[in-house]
Structure 1
Amino acid sequence: MSEVLTIAMPKGRIFEEAADLLRKANFQLPQEFDDSRKLIVDVPEENIRFILAKPMDVATYVEYGVADLGIAGKDVLLEEERDVYEVLDLKISKCHLAVAGLANGQASEVAKKVATKYPNVASTYFRQQGEQVEIIPLNGSIELGPIIGLADRIVDIVSTGRTLIENGLVELEHIEDITSRLIVNPVSYRLKDERIDDMVNRLTTVVENM
């Protein structure tokens, strides 16, 4: 029997959409897989093991080889800059990175302080715009930054824009479109190339027909 293929996946929306893609690619995932609270789920029928992780940790697991493959948002890959191969745009969990600020005109025209959980992305973006800003790292409720006067702007993921509106913020600049990507550990790609190529090819067929 071939070696187990280990895949790191985040819980939540990406997990649900990725599991649906895998099923459409004829991978036999048990129904209880979707509702599992386990952090490691084995699917012996496919000789696959899933590691269920926080979104920001997926690329780390793949880079260090504890997972052969992973499914991660492009936002994570831009922020983390991990040594992994990005082999397929799965075109799921679509959203975008944006700069936002107060809608009532209280924010200054030039951002001086920017709150974000994407400090590397934000630093690179404002540097490319020729703006010098102070980056304030936050891990949650980024929208609070401008509201309480901590920051002039935020850089965050925007999906529907509803959260911004509900907190009196507006999108000011579009940074980059984001989708989830299939990533691979470079060593695993050499050692398990046939199995990984098979998965990539089957998923590619599904994605191209979406």
Structure 2
Amino acid sequence: MTELTIAMPKGRIFEEAYQMLIDSGFNLPEEVEMSRKLMIEIPEEKIRFILAKPMDVPVYVEHGVADIGIAGKDTLLELKRNVHELLDLKISQCYIASAGLPNTTMNEIAPRIATKYPNIAMNYYKEIGEQVEIIELNGSIELAPMIGLADRIVDIVSTGRTLKENGLVEYEHITDVSSRLIANPVSYRMKSARIQEIVSRLKKLVN
């Protein structure tokens, strides 16, 4: 059996995807102690998991330290890494939207958009013909319209509760997001049978 290294984000996505692998028939321990671990070896299945930050998963896969990985569509659109997208796992579903203070219009001269997704935001506004200034932030994006830093924010929305709590409303639905199975292009050729087996098993669950 070919050895396979899988990069996964820590937290909820790992738990959901790991459970999917168990449900699709892989012989994995039901419980994994992952509080401090960055790598988990499963010798019986010749699988090694690398636990990473969500933004790092496509980087590991592109550079071949992981053969396959699980990454959010938001990360893939933002980073544009050279990886093959194999399957939409339909887990961790949410979407990217623009939001701002209620009943406000964007500044006509130089509207400012605060976001941790500068590429997604820039591409979206370019597509709709809006010239905007992008302000890249890493946390508490909701603050930007409240303190007058930006006209709109572009961010991930799952329930919309955070927006409501901060007195913001949604303006535009930009794109749907869910977790995807991705592969390194070389691994996809060299370990094709093993990777295809995982894809077909997971596909049955997804469908």
Instruction: Report the more deviating stretch, 25-34 or 80-89.
Output: 25-34
Instruction: Identify unmatched segments of 5+ residues in structure 2.
Output: none
Equivalent in the alignment of 1:21: 20
**Aligned 8 A contact 1:7 1:51 in 2:** yes
1:142 corresponding residue in structure 2: 141
Instruction: State whether residues 101 and 107 of structure 1, in contact with CA within 8 Å, keep that contact through their aligned partners in structure 2.
Output: no
The whole-number CA distance in structure 1 between the counterparts of 2:132 and 2:37 is 42
Which residue of structure 1 lines up, in the alignment, with residue 168 of structure 2?
169
- Rate the CA distance shift 1:117–1:91 in 2: closer, same or farther, 3 A: same
Residues 106, 175 of structure 1: alpha-carbon distance in 2 compared, 3 angstrom cutoff: closer
In 1, Cα distance between equivalents of 2:32 and 2:107 = 49
Structural RMSD (CA):
1.4
Deviates more, 1:72-81 or 1:9-18: 9-18
- The count of corresponding residues between Structure 1 and Structure 2 is 206
- State the Cα distance separating 1:35 from its structure 2 match: 4.1
Task: Tell me how far apart the structure 1 counterparts of residues 163 and 183 of structure 2 sit (CA, whole Å).
Answer: 34
Matching residue's letter, 1:162 = R
Which segments of structure 1 move beyond 2 Å, counting only runs of 4 or more? 34-37, 105-111
Q: Quick one: percent identity of the two aligned structures? A: 66
TM-score, scaled to structure 1: 0.94
Q: CA deviation at 1:156?
A: 0.4
Q: Secondary structure at the match of 2:196?
A: helix
Please list, as runs of the form range in 1=range in 2, the aligned pairs for 1:81-160 lying within 5 A after superposition: 81-103=80-102, 105-106=103-104, 108=106, 112-160=111-159
TM-superposed deviation, 1:178 = 0.8
* Structure 2 match to 1:60: 59
Cα distance, 1:188 vs structure 2? 0.2
State the alpha-carbon separation in 1 of the partners of residues 147 and 154 from structure 2: 16
- Superposed displacement of residue 20, structure 1: 1.4
The two structures have a TM-score, normalised by structure 2, of: 0.95
Distance 2:50 2:105 in 1: 42
Q: Which runs of 5+ in 1 are unaligned?
A: none
Secondary structure of 2:64's match? Answer: coil
Alpha-carbon shift at residue 34 of structure 1 (Å): 5.8
| 1:15 Cα deviation after fit | 1.2
Q: Which residue of 2 aligns with 1:75?
A: 74
Tell me which residue corresponds to 1:198. Answer: 197
**Relative to structure 2, which stretch is displaced further, 14-23 or 161-170?**
14-23
Could you tell me which amino acid in structure 1 is paired with residue 13 of structure 2?
I
